[in-house]
Chain A
Amino acid sequence: MSENKTLFINGKEVEFTDEINILEVMRKNGFNVPTFCYRPDLKPFGACRMCVVEIEGRGIQTSCTMPPESGLRIQTNTERTRRIRKTVLELLLANHDRECTSCEKSGSCELQKYAEEYGIREIRYAKKKEFLPIDDSNPSIVRDPNKCILCGACVRACEEFQGHAVLGFANRGSKTVVQPLAGKCLSEVDCVYCGQCQTVCPTGALTIKSDIEKVWSQITNKNKKVVVQIAPAVRVAIGEMFNLEPGENTIGLINTALREIGFDLVFDTNFSADLTIMEEGTEFIERLQKDENLPMFTSCCPAWVRYLEGAHPDMLGHLSTCKSPQSMLSPVLKEVLPLRLPEYTKENLVVVSIMPCTAKKSEAGRSELSMNGIQDTDYVLTTKELGRMIKEAGINFAHLAPSKGDSPFGEYTGAGTIFGASGGVAEAAVRTAYELITQQPLSDCDIKELRGVHNRCRDVEFDINGKKVVVRVVSTLKEAEKSIMEIKKGEAKFQLLEVMACPGGCVNGGGQPKSCDSSLIKEKRARGLYKEDESLLLRKSHENPEIQKLYEEFLEKPGSHKAHELLHTNYKNRLKGSYKDFE
């Protein structure tokens, strides 16, 4: 016996180490098998039966559930495996709403893809006749049960990431469906609109609710001035829709594309991420000094905010009162732009934000985030929607000449950029808080202990002026819930809690291009953000000259009355099912 563990795939001997299943071993060695239900970040489910292989002595096995063992002899392409896959495809298609050309997922649908690859030209089984109603009751996600193939990925994502079980299986036999509790709409249950269900959905059963047409109509309206802001994580992911590598920073291309689409001014949410740090950092320092409402929770993630309001309203005092970067920049634009640019008025100004996030659509609709009955952010487009608009506009994205964002709110520091990865907000906050408290320059800006998209909970201890401060970074609400329980039991030893609902943070957000085929995609995107951070001269939010100018001219100082008016918010107790109202 050799030292290395090996098995045989189609007669070829390959090595394996700690892969959880033979499907991963096959993928690493260039053998492709199709799958609908296997997602590397979710527990194997074995339901769709597409990844079946024949193993000598073991018969037909699903490769996603079969752990590798030395000496296994695996055949991926046999008469039986082909017949099972083709039958599965044919059966799924028979029961599917096959209006493919007008489907949101057309072109990116896995069912469509495999039907093409396996040459399904005829569906010999009885066609689906009964259609269920489509659920578009909420601002973020559309659920079309007629396109569901019951792979259970969304059910697992909701449970394994968010601990939430908003979606679950119901009924038996061919009447089995995936639906929210008791057949309700998503808006009637505790959905936080993180959109992870939709990122893992192989078909058009779960899609992002599109605001593209509304934005086009604003852009083409001569009486409107449409400005746009771009969130940090968008720039390292949108390129994937145009065959660029995950993590490649395309902010320059995005700026140009947005202008070509017809936006009047292009700003960067990174700027308001810096602004968030000024306010949140100040708030944190204050709370630390007063020893009040600790640990403090970050409030950038709208899914997390919504979760806390619904599940733990008694903990809302811990939540920073700072608005998210999206919701800070929008009111500033609506207040400041008309003062500086005469052709912009409060009436004709439309603010659109490009977000990696589906929950941002519901955040934009919160009544607290409006002035005189006008929402601060008028429209939210996800990364995927922007990609679609770029394609629709016929723009050759990858070959654009990069350009810079517009002043005054286009300037940002590295601290703003890293908001897009889990741990980034905490790192940015520590960079600023440390210097503000100690009045000493931070020797090394890279706080690598806070980083990582795979580890969903980490504690980092800092010594600030002899005071021990522990910062905890979590991603997924399932992890957040554990931290809340620690606090409730009085066992929490951290003072700052950064929560991002999506595993790995916004780089892996619900509005991003598909990333569920490989755990590495989110890692590459995060690396892209840290690379930009490193490349920038200014890497601490308080060093951003435009931020300094904004305070000088308009906001006075962090935590001022004016700053509170524009940049802070309040939260609601949504314990009693008031999830439904997002005004």
Chain B
Amino acid sequence: MKLKDDVLLDIEDLKQKSIEDINAQGLRVLICAGTGCVANGSLEIIDKFKERGINVQPLGKNDKMTAIPTGCHGFCEQGVLVVIPELDVTYVKVKLDDVDEIIDSHIIGGNPVERLLYTDPATKNHVFKNEDIKFYAGQTRVSLANCGEINPEAIEDTLSVDGYRALYNVLKQNDPDKVVDEIIKSGLRGRGGGGFPTGRKWMFTKMAAGDKKYVVCNGDEGDPGAFMDRSVMEGDPHKLLEGMAIAGFAVGADEAYIYVRAEYPLAIKRLRTAIKDAERENLLGKRIMGTDFNFEIHIKEGAGAFVCGEETALIASIEGERGMPRPKPPFPANKGLFGKPTLINNVETLANVPVIILKGADWFSSLGTETSKGTKTFALTGEVNNTGLIEVPMGTTLREIVFELGGGIRNGKKFKAVQIGGPSGGCLTEEHLDLTLDYDSLIKAGAMVGSGGLVVMNEDTCIVEVARFFMNFTQNESCGKCTPCREGTKNMLKILEKITRGEATLDDLDLLEELAMTVKDGSLCGLGKTAPNPVLSTLKYFRDEYIAHIVDKKCPAGVCTALKVIEIQPEACRGCSKCSRICPVGAISGEIKSPFTIDKEKCIKCGACLESCPFKAIIQR
């Protein structure tokens, strides 16, 4: 596509006006309004700041104070987060009742509220600034750069930090080929999990014959516990829209869809606002920036099927069909949405586009490893001290993430494993702690980047139970179309359940492994092809734990209920009868002052008796 008309809009002027608007706001108090903090009451806190803000005369040069709701800061477990950049302070775990104190003591009085500062778990020192919090210090925020820094619902905030300047540059330069080349050169790969080179995808779509083309943004983030795409959509929606428009210009599309799950109402609301604002400013819509480039973005709400994150199922869903994957070829680049050539990229991928254009492919490719460039966001959860959303350069080691950013394992327990990449990913163990996290090394280790879920597990986690959990998830979320995935995952789940009940044989284990290989080989789409990964990787690294369940009928972590044995040690029991009174199913009986016994048939292994015994005579094996 060549533009007939030159760019008429003055982006620098727009930026300067926005900065003026922002300066007029006085002291900006940034309050996280991401989903996590909203759940913790941040909206009320924002209201309170606004209410008080009217009469506040902050200390220093500002004549007033403005409360700014922002997107997710990432450090969700410390929410509600309140950041006042001008005062170099981050307050954590802020409650509604703390607002007056922050305003009176710090903003007006100049005395920081120490009890609301983050405490470093290692040094026990209060930490003022984000940069000094290890969780943030180890990060390189590119796609999340503005999340938590700007008001996602005010376009002037975006414009003040060079929003839409990349699109401006691209339209000014008016050379779609060059855009595609730049993305190819940057080495950006799909952040949705597959890691396909983004620039090549753009090139295929660009080269595909057809007058009508679409750009589709995959915002159907379905991995349990993953929320990086949501954070971008909630925290910096314009960056995504800008990335999409650049993609549209590059491949020759004039219409786009963002497929967002309906469970993300906040993201949907902010995207809608952002689209409306951008269209008003002539940054999207018809004749963008005065050129003859048109780009219209629609939002399609998904009903929450995990499989709709698979690109062909997602396309079917937008078309109004049941979300079932279609065989490839044909690839969406040639025959996608409504049969037209379609570029489909994930949210995080597209959010990387503007910065690549602005700072250049060389800058981007200086981050990361040889084959995996740039940064990657991860949702760090599980048994680590610091959980939340992080963005690190590709190639960061697992050790850095778990022990530096994550602050190590909670309660001094021992690290056991990490499940990376959600239900499609695999388990990594202690031997992988120094593995660099990038597409290729993870595939080699039997896992995958996936959408970037990182669940840290400690010694109390039963690995078979973990595999069973994920298999249950994929089984429920299989679309039911192809036989290996529909029936195969069901039978894998059945075998895993047998193992956790202690009813399996070693033949079952062989069958599980055989079936896992066939499901991986024979399934239609990525969901089925990767569904066996949790099983295969845990079988590889924790086979002894499976064997313990099968042969010894024991769950080494003591998690699998059916394999638990609770016993009263007769020599320690004084026959006080406390345990028999607390047992909810009446499984314990005996004569007072002589040892009691547990009826194993009746016992439901709830463990209530364990804690009740004053003499610690009851043990669990």
Please say whether chains A and B are actual partners in one complex: yes
A binding-site residues for B, Cβ under 8 Å: 44-49, 52, 60, 62, 65-67, 80, 83-84, 87-88, 91-92, 94-95, 124-126, 149-150, 152, 168-169, 171-176
How far apart are A421's CB and chain B's nearest CB, in angstroms? Answer: 32
Is B494 in contact with chain A by the CB < 8 A criterion? yes
- Contact of B524 with A176 in the complex, beta carbons under 8 Å: no
Find chain A residues with CB under 8 A from B412 CB. Answer: none
Residues in B469-494 with C-beta less than 8 Å from chain A: 475-484, 486-491, 494
- Contact of A91 with B487 in the complex, beta carbons under 8 Å: yes
Which listed residue (B326, B482, B489, B491) contacts A48, Cβ 8 A? B482
Is B117 in contact with chain A by the CB < 8 A criterion? no
Stretch of B266-274, B515-523, B536-544 at the chain-chain interface: B515-523
Interface SS of A by simple majority:
loop
- Contact of B488 with A126 in the complex, beta carbons under 8 Å: no
Is B322 in contact with chain A by the CB < 8 A criterion? yes
**Are A49 and B522 also in contact (CB < 8 A) when A169-B324, A173-B475 are?**
yes
Q: Give the residue name and chain of the A residue nearest to B508 (CB).
A: A124
How far apart are A258's CB and chain B's nearest CB, in angstroms? Answer: 43
Which listed residue (B327, B479, B481, B484) contacts A88, Cβ 8 A? B484
- Contact of B482 with A46 in the complex, beta carbons under 8 Å: yes
Find chain B residues with CB under 8 A from A176 CB. Answer: 478-481, 486
Which listed residue (B322, B480, B511, B515) contacts A150, Cβ 8 A? B480
- Contact of B511 with A46 in the complex, beta carbons under 8 Å: no
Find chain A residues with CB under 8 A from B232 CB. Answer: none
- Contact of A94 with B487 in the complex, beta carbons under 8 Å: yes
How far apart are B506's CB and chain A's nearest CB, in angstroms? Answer: 14
Is B60 in contact with chain A by the CB < 8 A criterion? no
Find chain B residues with CB under 8 A from A48 CB. Answer: 482-483
How far apart are A75's CB and chain B's nearest CB, in angstroms? Answer: 14
Is B67 in contact with chain A by the CB < 8 A criterion? no
The 7 sampled A-B contact pairs (Cβ below 8 Å) are A88-B522, A92-B487, A169-B322, A173-B476, A173-B477, A174-B475, A176-B486
How many residues belonging to B are interface residues under a CB distance threshold of 8 Å? 33
How far apart are B140's CB and chain A's nearest CB, in angstroms? Answer: 36
Find chain A residues with CB under 8 A from B518 CB. Answer: 83-84, 87
Which listed residue (A52, A60, A173, A175) contacts B489, Cβ 8 A? A173
- Contact of B487 with A47 in the complex, beta carbons under 8 Å: no
User: In the complex, A248→B482 CA distance in Å?
Assistant: 38
User: In the complex, A92→B514 CA distance in Å?
Assistant: 16
Find chain B residues with CB under 8 A from A174 CB. Answer: 475, 478, 480, 486-487, 489-490
Is B610 in contact with chain A by the CB < 8 A criterion? no
User: In the complex, A459→B316 CA distance in Å?
Assistant: 34
How far apart are B499's CB and chain A's nearest CB, in angstroms? Answer: 14
- Contact of B491 with A47 in the complex, beta carbons under 8 Å: no
How far apart are A250's CB and chain B's nearest CB, in angstroms? Answer: 39
**Are A91 and B327 also in contact (CB < 8 A) when A84-B518, A126-B491 are?**
no
- Contact of A49 with B486 in the complex, beta carbons under 8 Å: no
Is B305 in contact with chain A by the CB < 8 A criterion? yes
Which listed residue (A80, A91, A171) contacts B483, Cβ 8 A? A91
User: In the complex, A529→B517 CA distance in Å?
Assistant: 52
User: In the complex, A173→B488 CA distance in Å?
Assistant: 10
- Contact of B488 with A91 in the complex, beta carbons under 8 Å: yes
User: In the complex, A175→B472 CA distance in Å?
Assistant: 13
Find chain B residues with CB under 8 A from A60 CB. Answer: 521-522
Q: Give the residue name and chain of the B residue nearest to A66 (CB).
A: B329
Which listed residue (B305, B482, B491) contacts A94, Cβ 8 A? B491
Starting from the known contacts A47-B482, A87-B522, A125-B491, 5 additional A-B residue pairs (CB-CB under 8 Å) come to: A84-B522, A94-B491, A150-B483, A173-B480, A173-B486
Q: Give the residue name and chain of the B residue nearest to A49 (CB).
A: B522
Which listed residue (B326, B480, B494) contacts A46, Cβ 8 A? B326
User: In the complex, A91→B483 CA distance in Å?
Assistant: 8
- Contact of B524 with A87 in the complex, beta carbons under 8 Å: no
Residues in B15-32 with C-beta less than 8 Å from chain A: none
Interface centre among B483, B494, B517 (most CB of A within 10 A): B483
Which listed residue (B327, B476, B484, B487) contacts A172, Cβ 8 A? B476
Find chain A residues with CB under 8 A from B327 CB. Answer: 44-46, 62, 65
Find chain A residues with CB under 8 A from B478 CB. Answer: 172-174, 176
Interface centre among A125, A152, A172, A173 (most CB of B within 10 A): A173
Q: Give the residue name and chain of the A residue nearest to B473 (CB).
A: A173
User: In the complex, A88→B487 CA distance in Å?
Assistant: 8
- Contact of B479 with A80 in the complex, beta carbons under 8 Å: no
User: In the complex, A60→B327 CA distance in Å?
Assistant: 12
Find chain B residues with CB under 8 A from A91 CB. Answer: 483-484, 487-488, 491
User: In the complex, A66→B475 CA distance in Å?
Assistant: 27
Query: Which 10 pairs between the two chains have the least Cβ-Cβ distance?
Result: A176-B480, A46-B327, A91-B487, A65-B327, A174-B490, A84-B522, A87-B518, A173-B478, A125-B491, A88-B483
- Contact of A80 with B326 in the complex, beta carbons under 8 Å: no
- Contact of B491 with A172 in the complex, beta carbons under 8 Å: no
User: In the complex, A49→B517 CA distance in Å?
Assistant: 15
How far apart are B532's CB and chain A's nearest CB, in angstroms? Answer: 12
